[in-house]
Chains A and B, each alone.
Chain A
Amino acid sequence: MATRKKSLLKVIILGDSSVGKTSLMNQYVNKRFSNQYKATIGADFCTKEVVVNDRVVTMQIWDTAGQERFQSLGVAFYRGADCCVLVYDVTAPNSFKNLDSWRDEFLIQASPRDPEHFPFVVLGNKVDLDNRQVSTRRAQQWCQSKNDIPYYETSAKEGINVEMAFQTIAKNALEQEAEAEVINDFPDQIILNSQNNRPGNPDNCQC
Chain B
Amino acid sequence: MVQTNADGCEYKERLIASVKKEVKQLMEEAVTKKYVHEESSSVTSLCGAVEACLSQGLRRRALGLFKTSSTTALLHKIAKSCPEAEHISKLVQEIEAMDPNKRSSSSSDSFQRPPMLKKSSSNSMQSASSSSNALALASTSSAASGSVSVSVSVSLASASSSSIALASMKYLWIRLALYEKRLTKIIEYLVSNASSFYDRDSLVADSDYGSILSSLLVGPCALDFTRAKTADHYWTDPHADELVQRHRISSGRRSSSTCSRPAIINFKRSLNTSSDEASTGSFKSMASASVAKDYVESLHQNAKATLLYGKNNVHVLPKDVAEPMAGYLSLHQHIQTLTIKWTPNQLMNGYNEADEGEGEDIDKEAFWAYALNINVDEIVYVHCHQSRGEDSGGTVILVGQDGVQRPPIHFPEGGHMQQFLSCLETGLLPHGQLDPPLWSQRGIGKMFLWPKSMRRRILPSVMESVDETPIDYVFRIVSKSRHEEFAATHSILDFVRSTPRRAQLSSCSTTGSSDCSNKSLSIDQYPLESPLLLQHQHAQNTSIEMVCSTMRRQIISRAFYGWLAYCRHLSTVRTHLSGLVHGRITPEMKADEEGLTRERWQLLNVDGVLENATEFYRLVYFGGVQPELRQEVWPYLLGHYAFGSSLEERKRQDETCKHYYETTMSEWLAVDAIVQQREKEKTARAVAKLSSSGSNSGNERTVRAADLDAGGELENEVFEDISDISDPGDLEFDDEQRQQQQQQQGQVQQQKQKQQQQQQEEVPVSGMHLCVKPIPRAMKTSTDSGHVDEGENFNELDEEQEQEQQEKINAEPPPTMASCSASTASSYETVGVGGAGHQATSDSRSRSVLSPEYLSAEDLQLPEDNDEEEVKPPQQQQQQQQQAAVIITNASVDIANWERSPKSGNSQQMSPVQEQTPVLDALQQPKSACASPASSNGGVYSSELLEQFGLNLHRIEKDVQRCDRNYWYFANENLDKLRNVISTYVWEHLDVGYMQGMCDLVAPLLVIFDDESLSYSCFCKLMERMIENFPSGGAMDMHFANMRSLIQILDSEMYDLMDSNGDYTHFYFCYRWFLLDFKRELVYDDVFATWEVIWAAKHIASGHFVLFLALALLETYRDIILSNSMDFTDVIKFFNEMAERHNAQAVLQLARSLVLQLQMIIENK
B1123 in the interface, Cβ–Cβ < 8 Å?
Answer: no
Which listed residue, A17, A69, A70, A135, touches B690 by the CB 8 Å rule?
A135
Contacts of B999 in A (CB 8 A): 39
Residue of A18, A56, A133 touching B959 (CB-CB under 8 A): A18
A131 touches B1031 (CB 8 A): no
Residues on the A chain within 8 Å of B163, using CB: 1
Given contacts A67-B995, A135-B694, A137-B693, contact A130 B894 (CB under 8 A): yes
Query: B1072 — which chain A residues lie within 8 A by C-beta?
Result: 41-42
B409 to chain A, nearest CB (A): 42
CB distance from A123 to the nearest CB of B (A): 18
Render B147-165 as a binary contact track against A, CB cut-off 8 A, 1 for contact: 0000000000000000101
Is A131's CB under 8 angstroms from B959's CB? no
Tell me the complex Cα distance, A181–B1032, Å.
40
Q: Is the CB of B1075 within 8 A of A38?
A: no
User: Shortest distance in angstroms between A32's beta carbon and chain B's nearest beta carbon?
Assistant: 15
Q: Which of A43-51, A112-120, A194-202 contacts B (4 or more CB under 8 A)?
A: A43-51
Structural contact, B997 and A41, CB atoms closer than 8 A = yes
- 7 further A-B contacts with Cβ under 8 Å, apart from A38-B963, A38-B964, A47-B236, are A39-B999, A41-B1071, A56-B234, A73-B1068, A73-B1071, A130-B897, A135-B690
Among residues 80 to 121 in chain A, which have CB atoms less than 8 Å away from a CB atom of chain B?
Answer: 91, 93
Interface size on A, residues (CB 8 A): 41
Q: Contact check, A41 vs B234: say whether CB atoms are below 8 A apart.
A: no
Stretch at the interface among B5-13, B932-940, B1129-1137: B1129-1137
User: What are the residues of chain A within 8 A of B234 when measuring CB–CB?
Assistant: 49, 56, 58
The reply to whether B1132 and A133 form a contact with Cβ atoms under 8 Å apart is: no
Q: Is B231 a contact partner of A49 (Cβ separation < 8 A)?
A: yes
The reply on B576 being an interface residue by CB < 8 A is: no
Known pairs A43-B1132, A131-B901; A70 contacts B959 (CB<8 A)? no
Instruction: Verify if B686 is at the interface (C-beta below 8 Å from A).
Output: yes
Chain A residues packing against B (C-beta within 8 Å): 1-2, 4, 6, 17-18, 35-45, 47, 49, 56, 58, 60, 65-67, 69-70, 72-73, 76-77, 91, 93, 130-135, 137-138
Query: In this assembly, does B4 line the interface, its C-beta being within 8 Å of a C-beta of chain A?
Result: no
> Please, how many residues of chain B have a CB less than 8 angstroms from a CB on the other chain?
54
Taken residue by residue from 162 to 185, chain B's Cβ proximity to chain A (1 for < 8 Å, 0 otherwise) reads as 010101000000000000000000
Contact B690 A45 (CB under 8 A): no
* 7 examples of A-B residue contacts, CB within 8 angstroms: A18-B962, A38-B964, A39-B963, A41-B1076, A44-B1133, A73-B1031, A131-B687
Q: Which residues does chain A contribute within 8 Å of B1071, judged by CB atoms?
A: 41-43, 73
B964→A93 contact, CB < 8 A: no
Is the Cβ of B995 less than 8 Å from the Cβ of A17? no
Contact with A along B877-906 (1 / 0, CB 8 A): 000000000000000011101110100000
A133 touches B1066 (CB 8 A): no
Question: B1129 near A60 (CB under 8 angstroms)?
Answer: yes
Question: Closest residue to B902 on the A side, CB-wise?
Answer: A131
Q: Does B732 contact A (CB under 8 A)?
A: no
| B694 adjacent to A1 (CB under 8 Å) | no
Tell me the B668-713 residues at the A interface (CB within 8 Å). Answer: 682-683, 686-687, 690, 693-694
Q: Which residues of chain B are within 8 angstroms of A37 by Cβ–Cβ distance?
A: 962
Which chain A residue lies CB-closest to B993? A69
User: In angstroms, how far is the closest chain A Cβ from the Cβ of B625?
Assistant: 26
> Which residues in B have their C-beta under 8 angstroms from that of A137?
693
| Contact A133 B996, CB 8 Å, known A38-B962, A42-B1071 | no
Minimum CB–CB distance for B1029 against chain A, Å: 11
Nearest-CB residue, chain A, relative to B894? A130
Smallest CB gap from B900: residue in A: A131
Report B595-616 CB contacts with A as 1/0, cut-off 8 Å.
Answer: 0000000000000000000000
Q: Report the minimum CB–CB distance from B1004 to chain A (whole Å).
A: 14
What are the residues of chain B within 8 A of A4 when measuring CB–CB?
Answer: 276
Q: Which of B900-924 contact A (CB under 8 A)?
A: 901
Instruction: Provide the residues of chain B in CB contact with A40, threshold 8 Å.
Output: 996
Q: A45-B1133, A69-B995 are in contact. Are A17 and B1031 (CB under 8 A)?
A: no
CB of A42 within 8 A of CB of B1075, answer: yes
Which residues does chain A contribute within 8 Å of B1129, judged by CB atoms?
A: 45, 60
Determine whether the beta carbon of A131 is less than 8 Å from that of B894.
Answer: yes
Check if A131 sits within 8 Å of B1136, measured CB to CB: no
- Could you tell me the distance between the alpha carbons of A17 and B231 in the complex, rounded to whole angstroms? 31
The answer to whether B962 and A130 touch across the interface, beta carbons within 8 angstroms, is no
Residues from chain A with a CB closer than 8 A to the CB of B457 are: none
* B955 on interface, CB distance cutoff 8 Å: yes
Q: How far is the CA of A48 from the CA of B1112 in the complex (A)?
A: 31
Docked CA distance A44–B1134 (Å): 10
Task: Judge whether B1000 is part of the interface by a CB distance below 8 angstroms.
Answer: yes
The 8 A-B pairs at the shortest CB distance, nearest first, are namely A131-B898, A42-B1071, A42-B1072, A18-B958, A130-B897, A1-B165, A41-B1072, A67-B996
Q: How far is the CA of A67 from the CA of B693 in the complex (A)?
A: 30
Task: Assess the B965–A36 pair: CB atoms within 8 A.
Answer: yes
Contact between chains at A133 and B236 (CB < 8 Å): no
Q: Does B280 contact A (CB under 8 A)?
A: yes
**Bound CA–CA A138/B165 (angstroms):** 53
Instruction: Tell whether, in the assembled complex, residue A135 and residue B1068 are in contact, meaning their CB atoms are under 8 Å apart.
Output: no
| B residues less than 8 Å from A17 (CB atoms) | 955, 958-959, 996
List of A residues within 8 angstroms of B467 by Cβ: none
Asked if A39 contacts B996 (CB within 8 A), the reply is: yes
> Which residues of B220-275 have CB atoms within 8 Å of chain A's CB atoms?
231, 234-237
Selected from A1, A39, A60, A133, the residue in CB contact (under 8 A) with B683 is A133
Chain B contacts of A45 at CB under 8 A? 1129, 1132-1133
Residues 367 to 421 of chain B near chain A (Cβ within 8 Å) = none
Cβ-closest chain B residue relative to A94: B954
Q: How far is the CB of B1134 from chain A (nearest CB, A)?
A: 11
- Kindly report which residue of chain B lies nearest to residue A136, judged by CB atoms: B694
What distance in Å separates the Cβ of B946 from its nearest Cβ neighbour in chain A?
15
Query: Within the complex, what minimum Cβ distance (angstroms) separates A141 from chain B?
Result: 11
Which among A1, A38, A49, A56 is the interface contact of B276 at CB below 8 angstroms? A1
Looking at the assembled complex, report how far the CB atom of B578 sits from the nearest CB atom of chain A, in whole angstroms.
29
Min distance, Cβ A181 to any Cβ of chain B, angstroms: 17
Within 8 Å CB of B846, what residues of A?
none
Q: How far is the CA of A140 from the CA of B955 in the complex (A)?
A: 27
Q: What is the CA–CA distance of A60 and B236 in the complex, to the nearest angstrom?
A: 11
- In Å, the complex CA distance between A34 and B664 comes to 36
A44 B1136 Cβ-Cβ under 8 A: yes
